[in-house]
Each structure stands twice: as structure tokens, then as C-alpha cells.
Amino acid sequence: MNFYTVNGSPNCRKVHAVINYLGLDTNIIELDMMKGDLEKPEFKAMNPNGMVPILEDGDLKLWESNAITQYLASLAPANSLYPDDPRVRADIHRWQNWEECHFNRACGGFLFENVLKSLFKIGQPDPAVLKEAEQNFNRFAAILEDQLEGRDFILGKDLTLADFSVGAMMVYADAAGIPVSPFKNISGWKKRMESISAWAEVPALPA
Ligand SMILES: N[C@@H](CCC(=O)N[C@@H](CS)C(=O)NCC(=O)O)C(=O)O
């Protein structure tokens, strides 16, 4: 299998962490967005969106990070990341969808304004966008904070794909100024995630 990734991408991080955690035999191929790799015809043929992550498993060319994590975890022998129980899987899918629709977007405003703009030299952070991002973040972080009350991980005592998906943006919390610290349960969970080597070993933002 080939996994095409870009260092510093939160969506690639989810997939990379699953590969590390389950010890899957995968070639990890780093692409360079700045050199236009994602626009090359061979990658566009695998993902017409021109985005990563992409997983290539023979004739299967799979894109969308959360779908890739589900596929990879289904290939491995029974594992706690993605238990073979329809109710647990539905719960994991619920949190992965919530992450993509709400939490990722809420955090993404901070990442773009406070990190990516300076990295790509495309201007100063916009205070109005940051204010809206803060309102959005507080709204959705409150949901996660409640869910983590009395739980080590999102579903309970075990780490699952939900943690890798929802946690992906938390890696940039300090650099992006995402206001996590008032949320005690999220802060504790973030620290627990950082102590998982499969997670910590994924490269963070490019230097
Ligand atoms: N919903 C997609 C989003 C993928 C995505 O936004 N990838 C970013 C890197 S995190 C990308 O490739 N961006 C390149 C671009 O937008 O041109 C997923 O979860 O895989």
C-alpha cells in the first residue's frame, strides 16, 4: 500500500497515526504542496480534488481522511481503534463526521490566520475572522468537553479512530492560539494523546 501525505497536514496525521498504531506495512510517500505535487496528473488521477491524504491499495485509490482510517483499521486484526460492533462503529462515525463538519472548521480559522498565513506569506491575521473562529470554537469545544467528562478518550477508556480524527487539530493548538486551556477535560485528553507514540511520532508542521 502507498500512503501519500504532506507534513503538517492535520488530515494526513489521522491516517499516519493509524498506520503507526496498527503497524501496517505501508510506503509513506511525502509530497510537496509548494512544488505543485498535488496538481501533477498522476496524483490528480488518484484524487481529482488535488488533495491529500490518498491511500493506494492496488486498484483502490482512496481519498477522504476519515474513510481511509476506517479502511485501514478494518484491514488489521481485531483492534480497539475500530471494534467490530455496529454501535461502536456508528459512534466513531458520528464523531468523525462531527469533527469534519464542525470541530475541524472551528479550529481551522485559527490555523489559517495565525500559522498558515505567515508560513505562506499571505498577509496578517484578520481579527474579525479570529473573533468568529473563537465563537465557533467555544460552541463546539463545549460539546467535546462534556463528552470527555469522566472518560479518558472520546468513547470511554479505549483510544479509537474518533480520537485520531477529532485530535488532529489539537496538535496545532499552541502554534495557532486555539483557546483550549479553559477546557480542562480537552486539555487532559490532549496530553494523553501526546503520550501515545504512534501519534507523537507523526511529523508536525514543516520547519
Ligand atoms: N476532507 C478532506 C480534506 C483534505 C484536505 O483538505 N487536505 C489538505 C491538506 S490537510 C490539502 O490537500 N490541501 C491542498 C489544497 O487544498 O489544495 C479529508 O479529510 O481528507
Claim to verify: residue 90 and residue 154 sit in the same structural domain? yes
Claim to verify: residue 69 and residue 91 sit in the same structural domain? no
Claim to verify: residue 93 and residue 188 sit in the same structural domain? yes
Query: How far away, in angstroms, is 52 Cα from ligand 1 center?
Result: 5
- Grid coordinates representing 113? 490566520
Claim to verify: residue 194 and residue 98 sit in the same structural domain? yes
Question: Is residue 81 included in any domain, yes or no?
Answer: no
Q: Which atom of ligand 1 is nearest to the CA of 53?
A: 20
State yes or no: cis peptide before 48, omega within 30 of 0: no
3-state secondary structure of 79: coil
Mean pLDDT across the chain, nearest whole number?
96
Give the model confidence (pLDDT) of 129-160 as tens digits.
999 999 999 999 999 999 999 999 999 999 99
pLDDT at 119: 86
Distance (Å, rounded) from C-alpha 37 to C-alpha 89? 34
Question: Is residue 206 included in any domain, yes or no?
Answer: no
pLDDT at 207: 54
Claim to verify: residue 94 and residue 141 sit in the same structural domain? yes
Question: Is residue 205 included in any domain, yes or no?
Answer: no
Query: How far away, in angstroms, is 38 Cα from ligand 1 center?
Result: 10
Claim to verify: residue 54 and residue 129 sit in the same structural domain? no
Backbone angles phi, psi at 8, to 5 degrees: 90, 0
Strands (E), the chain: 2-5, 27-30, 54-57, 60-63
Kindly state if the Cβ of 69 falls inside 6 Å of ligand 1.
Answer: no
Residue with CA at minimum distance from ligand 1 atom 2:
64
Claim to verify: residue 13 and residue 36 sit in the same structural domain? yes
Claim to verify: residue 67 and residue 92 sit in the same structural domain? no
Among 52, 75, 98, where does a domain finish?
A: 75
Claim to verify: residue 155 and residue 191 sit in the same structural domain? yes
Claim to verify: residue 38 and residue 97 sit in the same structural domain? no
Give the model confidence (pLDDT) of 95-118 as tens digits.
999 999 999 999 999 999 999 899
Domain that includes residue 27, residue range: 2-75
Query: Contact, 108 vs 57, CB < 8 A?
Result: no
Q: Which atom of ligand 1 is nearest to the CA of 6?
A: 9
The total number of structural domains that make up the chain: 2
Kindly state if the Cβ of 50 falls inside 6 Å of ligand 1.
Answer: yes
Indicate whether 35 pLDDT > 70.
yes
Please report how the helices 10-22 and 65-75 are oriented relative to each other, as an axis angle in degrees rounded to 10: 0
Average pLDDT over residues 13-22: 98
CATH number, domain with residue 24: 3.40.30.10
Query: How far away, in angstroms, is 150 Cα from ligand 1 center?
Result: 33
Question: Is residue 177 included in any domain, yes or no?
Answer: yes
Query: How far away, in angstroms, is 64 Cα from ligand 1 center?
Result: 8
Distance (Å, rounded) from C-alpha 55 to C-alpha 69? 10
Claim to verify: residue 90 and residue 168 sit in the same structural domain? yes
